[in-house]
Amino acid sequence: MGYVPVKGGTQAIDASIQRIKYERLRGEEIVDIETIMSTMRGMVDQVMSESSLYSPYLAALAIKQAEGSMEEAVFLMRAHRSTLPRPYYSQTVEPEKMFVERRISASFKDIPGGQLLGATYDYTHRLLDFELIQENLDDNLQWLQNYQDQLKQIEAFDEVKYFPKVVDYLREEGLFETYEADNTSPIDVTKQSLQFPTTRSERLQVLTRGQTGAVTSLGYASLRGYGQVHPTVGEVRVGSVPIYVQHPNEMEHSDEDEFYIGEIKVTEVESFVPTTVKNENNEYELEFEIGYGICYGQNETKAIAMSILDQCLEHPESDFPTHDEEFVLLHIDSVESTGFISHLKLPHYVTFQSKLDSIRQVKKGVPTVES
Amino acid sequence: MKANTHFAFFDEGSKKEIRRAIMKAVAIPGYQVPFASREMPIARGWGTGGLQITLSIIGKPDVLKVIDQGADESVNAVSIKKLVHETTNVELTEQTSEATIIQSRHRIPEVPLTKDQIIVLQVPTPEPLRGVEAREFMTKRMHSEDDYSGVWLMLFEQIMKYGKTATFADHPVYVNGRYVMAPSPIPRFDNNKMHQSESLILLGAGREKKIYAVPPYTNVESLAFEDYPFTVESFEGLHCHLCGSTDIFLDELMDQQTGITIHQCNDTSFCMDQLNKKEKAEVQTSYA
């Protein structure tokens, strides 16, 4: 048969798949799922967050399979998610009940309950640690033992202590408006497609599923001037929250009958944003509003950026693109954006032929337009 | 942790949801029904909309054909076929007439389809008004108000600029006299095949989360003016260098040795059929 540049051909595809396997194996090293899970927390958390599937083990598996490529790992997890039935919605999670590991406020030094620095890179120097090249398990175990011994001497609380929300304290002072809790069931964006204008529940879901880099970039853009939201971080908290589901068939409902199905680690951010509002006398007044961000695992940058975008989208009247919900919500999804960009690698022979035809016809000369 | 994949990949609940959207799409020809598009094992923009439709409607007795750019062997067609086959075990074919479901990117086969077949088209940008209006909120309103002045204006502007309409593939069509629809980036050449089609045409856009349809025997008109009629890609005086067919959509190929441009059937299974027929005829005449 003649020269056919169109076909990839089944054999060529098989060979390509063999080749990618070869590239993964050729280094002759193997990394265990458990190793990824315990040593690459940041990546596992990001993959879980962007794929909106909370499973550190599967996220680690995806990272292994994807050879560490974030977009690929998220893609694998999202595809797996599509095979899972979604039988229940959880009860509303109360972040006040969070088992806090880290909690800071950039707004107030003296927050009720105190600041709890927890584990973070924020206060480290970003110098390459060449000792990690020689890291060995025995030394690590020794260090762990010492650390845990020290911990035992410090821990003194008899009971579980919950930290109050910074904003509650400010509400008492009348600096924030108190809103009635909105208990309408959220719209599940994975079961219903977005319709514009959206509800806040939809916006928050899309933002929290958003690609970490994209959410960060757009949040940053707003901060730099392509937006009108420049917040102060009121509170960042990282910790575990319990998840409960209600019995699906019970008519009567009491908290006692709820099923505890486990806990998830989340990062929650409340940003304080000064906004101008018009009062009854048509005068401008300053008021604080809250931008809210939450995501799986520990990913403070994303949660803060989400809180900025949440506020941006609450105020769509601005001319800036970061305030345009269609612009923000339709472009930050990892799977959607990488998928469509990468589809440009597919052949476009038919559409291009069609373009060629039109351009040639137009160039060929035009019958004079009759007036 | 290891689990076997469910028949046709999805759980039953998901398939039911998508089938409902399809039913609505069939009931309102050309109307874009929003649906909860799932993340698929192939990339968004690589045919996930079509794939979700295929997986939701496919049953064990079905025979599937997948085309990409007119070819059964094209990379993406192979990958989609493989995925459907692995999760359903249905029979695959390259023969257009044998298939009950044909999933396609960018082409409607040259062989006329029958009422026993369903063609599933993959759609990257389902909104025919997107070029006129960026906001989904507004385009939805324009559709509901039957306000298509924007698209007409676009065609008019092309005539003013170029002296003729200069749309590429994906030339917008009026369906059943009501909705203007993007026919998926099929070449203008294939637009007419949608008119009064015997087979059901389902269109799926995964990334944009829309399903729409052209039921059998429905009027589909390509947008055009009386004095500037709709024209298709011209292959006048050209024929396939393999089978000799004319009046079909041709790929333009460059012969690397001679540098001469040659043409070849874009629909590879059609071309193969023609060649087989020719060979058969030759054999018969030589015996006679």
pLDDT per position as a tens digit, A255-268 = 888 999 999 999 99
Report the alpha-carbon angle B212-B215-B218, nearest 5. Answer: 115
- Closest by Cβ to A350, choosing from B13, B107, B159: B107
Tell me: the pLDDT tens digits for A128-163? 999 999 999 999 999 999 999 998 888 666 777 788
Whether residue B45 lies in the annotated active site = no
Cα→Cα distances B67→A11, B74, B78, B81, B196, Å: 17, 7, 9, 9, 22
**Buried residues in A14-48 as b, exposed as e (16+ CB within 10 A):** eeeeeeeeeeeeeeeeeeebeebbeebeebbbbbb
| Tokens matching residue B180 | 């203007």
- Closest by Cβ to A83, choosing from B5, B75, B264: B5
The answer to whether the beta carbons of residues A332 and A242 sit under 8 Å apart is no
Q: Looking at the predicted structure, is the pLDDT value of residue A288 above 90?
A: no
For residue B263, what are the β-bridge partners? B252
* pLDDT at position A8: 55
The residues, any chain, with a CB within 8 Å of residue B236's CB and separated by 6 or more, are none
Q: Looking at the predicted structure, is the pLDDT value of residue B6 above 90?
A: no
Band (A244; pLDDT cuts 50, 70, 90): very high
- Tell me whether residues B73 and A8 touch, CB distance under 8 A: yes
Percent of chain A past pLDDT 70, that is, above it, reads 95
Question: Average pLDDT, stretch A323-338?
Answer: 94
Question: Average pLDDT, stretch A65-76?
Answer: 95
Band (A2; pLDDT cuts 50, 70, 90): very low
Determine which of A272-286, A347-361, B189-203, B224-238 has the lowest per-residue pLDDT on average.
A272-286
Q: Looking at the predicted structure, is the pLDDT value of residue B245 above 60?
A: yes
- Residues B204 and A17: their CA atoms lie apart, in Å, by 28
The amino acid that residue A53 corresponds to is: L
Tell me: the pLDDT tens digits for B72-131? 998 899 999 999 999 999 999 999 999 999 999 999 999 999 999 999 999 999 999 998
The amino acid that residue B105 corresponds to is: R
* pLDDT at position A197: 93
DSSP states along B115-159: TT-EEEEE-S---TTTTT---HHHHHHHHHTT--HHHHHHHHHHH
- Residues A77 and B68: their CA atoms lie apart, in Å, by 26
Residue A202 exposure: Cα atoms within 13 Å on the Cβ side: 19
Band (A1; pLDDT cuts 50, 70, 90): very low
More confident residue, B217 or A126: B217
Q: Does B264 touch chain A (CB under 8 A)?
A: yes
| Tokens matching residue B234 | 């011209």
The residue written with tokens 């989360």 in the block is B209
In chain A, positions 157-186, which contact chain B (CB-CB < 8 Å)?
A: none
Helix (H, G, I), strand (E, B) or coil at A6: coil
The residues, any chain, with a CB within 8 Å of residue B136's CB and separated by 6 or more, are A196, A326, A330, B127
Nearest to A21 by CA among A86, A56, A65: A65
- Tell me whether residues A82 and B137 touch, CB distance under 8 A: no
- Average per-residue pLDDT in chain B? 93
* pLDDT at position A247: 84
Tell me: the pLDDT tens digits for A169-210? 888 877 787 888 888 889 999 988 899 999 999 999 999 999
Band (A7; pLDDT cuts 50, 70, 90): low
Phi, psi of A140 (to 5 degrees): -60, -45
Kind plus residue range of the DSSP H or E element containing A209:
helix A200-209
For B50-100, give the secondary structure using H, E and C: HHHHHHHHCCCCCEEEEEECCECCCHHHHHHHHHHHHHHCCEECCCHHHCC
Tell me if the pTM is above 0.95.
no
The residues, any chain, with a CB within 8 Å of residue A324's CB and separated by 6 or more, are A316
Q: Looking at the predicted structure, is the pLDDT value of residue A6 above 50?
A: no
Band (A167; pLDDT cuts 50, 70, 90): confident
Band (A107; pLDDT cuts 50, 70, 90): confident
ipTM: 0.81
How does strand B118-122 pair with strand B101-105? parallel
User: In a 10 Å sphere around its CB, with 0-12 CB exposed, 13-18 middle and 19+ buried, how is residue A282 labelled?
Assistant: exposed
Nearest to A241 by CA among A209, A268, A203: A268
How does strand B63-68 pair with strand B91-92? parallel
Q: Looking at the predicted structure, is the pLDDT value of residue B281 above 90?
A: no
The answer to whether the beta carbons of residues B175 and B214 sit under 8 Å apart is yes
- Tell me whether residues B106 and A84 touch, CB distance under 8 A: no
Q: Does B259 touch chain A (CB under 8 A)?
A: no
Number of CB atoms found within 10 A of residue A265's CB: 19
* pLDDT at position A4: 45
The answer to whether the beta carbons of residues B39 and B221 sit under 8 Å apart is no
Q: Looking at the predicted structure, is the pLDDT value of residue B271 above 90?
A: yes
- Residues B189 and A29: their CA atoms lie apart, in Å, by 53
In chain A, residues with a C-beta closer than 8 Å to the C-beta of B109 are: none
Nearest to B69 by CA among B109, B125, B113, B112: B109
* pLDDT at position A42: 96
Cα dihedral A47, A53, A57, A62 sign: negative
